[in-house]
Amino acid sequence: MKTAFIYTDAYVDFDYGPTHPLKVIRLKLTYELIKAYGLLSLPFVQSIQTKKADDEDLALFHSRDYLDILKQASKGQSAKSFYHYGLGPGDNPIFKGLYDWSLWVTGATLQASELVAKGEKEIAFNIAGGLHHAQRSRASGFCYINDAVVGISKLLKQGKRVVYIDIDVHHGDGVQKAFYQTDQVLSISFHESGYTLFPGTGFESEIGEGAGEGYSVNVPFPAFTDDETYLWAFEEVVPPLLQAFKPDVVFSQLGVDTFYNDPLANLHLSIAGFERIVRRIKDLVPRWVALGGGGYEVSNVARAWTLAWAIMNGIELNENLPEPYLEKAGRLGIHDRKLREGAPPPSQCHDNGGRMEIERVVDYLQKKVFPKIRS
C-alpha cells in the first residue's frame, strides 16, 4: 500500500465570510486530527505539499472569459456582470484571493490524479477537493472551479477510463454535465433527491446522451434515508457497474453532509454508515483519487475524513480522540471526545416509504442503465 495525502496550510488564508456555511478551517482541523493520530508518519504514507494549478490546467474545462472574471473578482473588483457568472452575495461570495484558493484546491487534485494514474501511489487524498457544482462558465454551490472535472479531463487526454463516485448529499451536477456525452467517464452520484435539495437535479432518468447514454448514473434518496437503505443501494449499484466498466482510475467525492446532524440537508446517515461506504470503495477500486466535498458540521468533517484516511491506510484508530486535537478543537467550541461520537435518532425512512422508492430507482437503473455499460 502506497498512499499520498496532499495538503497545505495556505488553504486557511481564504475565507468565504463569517456567515457562510463553508468553513475553510475544517480542512486545518482535519489535518490536525490526522496528524495527531500519527497517520502521516506511517512508513508507506507520503505527506505532500500542495502545488498550485495554473491557468492552462483550469482551461481544460473552464472557459477563458470565466477565468478572467474570477481573476477580477479575486482582486476585490465587482461588477453587475459578475452575477451572470454566479458570483455575488449568497452561495458564491466574492472574496479576496478566491482565484488563488481555486488554484490551490485544483492543484492538489491534479497532483493526486497524476500520482495515482502513473502508479506511483495506489491512493491519494485531497481533502480540499470535490467542488463538484462549478460549471464551465459559472460558479455554483460554493464551487468556483470544478477540480474533479479538471483532474479527470487531464486523465482523459492520457487515454484513461475513469469512474467518478460521488457520495455528497448534493447531486454532482457539474461533473455529470461535463461528461454527459462521453462513455470514457462513468459518473455515479448518490444524493438527496432534487425534489427536496439543491441543485434540483440528479433524477434517475438523467442517464447521459449520445455516446454517453447510460454512463450517468443517479441514485436520488428521499429525505431521512438511513444507513441501511443507503448502503443497500450502494451495494446494488456500484460493484456491478465497476465490474462492467473496468476503469483505470476511480475518483470519489466523499462529502459528509449526508450526516443526520448536518445543517444543510435532510439525509440520516451516521459516521458508522459513512465508514462502511468508504471501506467498500477501498475494497472495490485498485487506483483511487479521493476528494473531500461538502460537510457543514465542522466536527463531523474532521472525524469522518480522518476515519476515511485511516481506512485508506488499513489502520484501526483508538475511539478516544487524541489530546492535542481536543485542545485545538476546544478553542473552536468543538467538544466531541470520541471518533464516532453520537448516533442518529430513529429515522422516518421506512415509515414514509423511502425504502420502496429506492428499490424502484435501483430497479430502473438495473433495467435501463446496466445493460449499456461496457468495458
Measured distance CA(271)–CA(226) in Å, rounded: 11
Q: Is the dihedral of CA 144, 149, 154, 157 positive or negative?
A: negative
pLDDT at 76: 80
CA distance 353 to 71: 48
CB 139, CB 62: distance < 8 Å: no
- Average the pLDDT over 7-14 and give the result: 98
Grid look-up 422516518 returns 348
- The H helix count followed by the E strand count for the chain is 11, 8
Distance, in Å, from the CA atom of 147 to the CA atom of 295, rounded to the nearest integer, reads 17
In a 13 Å sphere around the CA of 193, the CA atoms on its Cβ side amount to: 13
Q: CA-CA distances (angstroms) from residue 111 to 155, 183, 326, 333?
A: 12, 24, 31, 33
Tell me the CA end-to-end span of the chain in Å, nearest whole number.
Answer: 26
What whole-number distance in Å separates Cα of residue 274 and Cα of residue 167? 9
List, by residue number, the catalytic residues: 133
Does the model's pTM come out above 0.95? yes
Q: Where along the chain do its domains lie?
A: 3-372
pLDDT at position 216, please?
98
Q: What is the pLDDT of residue 103?
A: 98
Query: What does the pLDDT look like over 299-347, one tens digit per residue?
Result: 999 999 999 999 999 999 999 999 999 999 999 999 999 999 777 777 7
Looking at residue 352, what is its pLDDT? Answer: 67
Task: Check residue 369 and give its pLDDT.
Answer: 97
* Predicted confidence (pLDDT) per residue in 180-236, tens digit: 999 999 999 999 999 999 999 999 999 999 999 999 999 999 999 999 999 999 999
Element (H, E) at 359: helix 354-368
Q: How far apart are CA 283 and CA 286, in angstroms?
A: 8
| pLDDT over threshold 70, residue 350 | no
Kindly report the CATH number that applies to the domain delimited by 3-372: 3.40.800.20
Distance between CA 120 and CA 207 in Å, rounded? Answer: 34
3-state secondary structure of 333: coil
Q: Would the pLDDT of 176 be above 70?
A: yes
HEC string for 276-341? HHHHHHHHHCCCEEEECCCCCCHHHHHHHHHHHHHHHCCCCCCCECCHHHHHHHHHCCCCCCECCC
